[in-house]
Amino acid sequence: DSGVTQTPKHLITATGQRVTLRCSPRSGDLSVYWYQQSLDQGLQFLIQYYNGEERAKGNILERFSAQQFPDLHSELNLSSLELGDSALYFCASSVGTGGDQPQHFGDGTRLSIL
Amino acid sequence: QKEVEQDPGPLSVPEGAIVSLNCTYSNSAFQYFMWYRQYSRKGPELLMYTYSSGNKEDGRFTAQVDKSSKYISLFIRDSQPSDSATYLCAMYRSGYSTLTFGKGTMLLVSP
């Protein structure tokens, strides 16, 4: 058990809808990262928050947004969903932000768009 | 050219074999190197973490980094069926806080 909790485990919804994925980091970790994993693209970094502030952005679509709350949990919001958004979404956390801070992953949310 | 290349496999070996998993990378700015193991329907689990060139051993696992060749390896000794999983290499680029992943190699260890 990595200590990173993600809910829900599965989400099934339709095109055009909006969903929210939730992540609770490991106790003591201030950084939260969001990744998307698909069969053809592998693990793709979306966005990072550190202690409530956005720290880095990757290949995140404008339809997607995230935030980190004062209790350090994070939410990833996906809107105007398209079939191509079907994927596994992972959250990871680390103590800090540098390369000497290994990231620990949750078990992901599987999103299926019908 | 992708920044990190990893053969997707699958790599099939018999129980007890020595397994070699590899990644190459193109950007010499990568400084920290990691190996993650991912079981089906689970998140990536950190296995090994190295900074410098050379070898690092942890039980049956040895991580090797050759920065001059931009090549990293993970060796698994006495492989077990429970080692069957996808192995992802990942690395940090200096000045960035995000990981760049390889696409993963699927390993199948048969009893």
Does the pLDDT of residue B97 top 80, yes or no?
no
Q: Which residues, listed in sequence order, are joined to residue A2 by a DSSP beta bridge?
A: none
Q: Which residues, listed in sequence order, are joined to residue A77 by a DSSP beta bridge?
A: A20, A65
Does the pLDDT of residue B2 top 90, yes or no?
no
Does the pLDDT of residue A3 top 90, yes or no?
yes
What number of H helices and E strands is found in chain A?
0, 11
pLDDT value of position A102: 86
Q: Do A43 and B42 touch (CB under 8 A)?
A: no
Does the pLDDT of residue B99 top 90, yes or no?
no
Q: What is the pLDDT of residues A16-55, one digit of tens each?
A: 999 999 999 999 999 999 999 988 788 999 999 999 999 9
What number of H helices and E strands is found in chain B?
0, 11
Lowest-confidence region among A94-98, A109-113, B7-11, B107-111: A94-98
Residue A36: phi, psi to the nearest 5? -115, 135
Quick one: closest CA in A to B52, which residue?
A100
Q: What is the pLDDT of residues B45-92, one digit of tens each?
A: 999 999 878 899 999 999 999 999 999 999 999 999 999 999 999 998
pLDDT value of position A72: 97
Q: Which residues, listed in sequence order, are joined to residue A68 by a DSSP beta bridge?
A: A74
pLDDT value of position A105: 96
List the single best residue of B6, B99, B101, B105 to mutate versus A (max A Cβ within 10 A): B99
Give the side-chain half-sphere CA count within 13 A for A61: 11
pLDDT value of position B54: 87
**Owner of token pair 């000794």:** B77
Give CA–CA dist B33/B21, Å, rounded.
14
pLDDT value of position B98: 80
pLDDT value of position A99: 66
Q: Please classify residue A21 by burial: count the beta carbons closer than 10 Å to its beta carbon, then call 0-12 exposed, 13-18 middle and 19+ buried.
A: buried
Structure tokens that stand for B84 in this block:
């069957």
Q: What is the dihedral of CA B32, B9, B24, B17, to 10 degrees?
A: 70
Structure tokens that stand for A23 in this block:
């992540």
* Cβ pair B5, B21 in contact under 8 A: no
- Coil, strand or helix at A79: coil
Chain A residues in contact with B88 (beta carbon < 8 A): 42-43
Chain B residues in contact with A34 (beta carbon < 8 A): none
Lowest-confidence region among A38-42, A64-68, A106-110, B28-32: A38-42
Structure tokens that stand for A32 in this block:
């939260």
pLDDT value of position A41: 80
CB atoms within 10 A of CB B81: 11
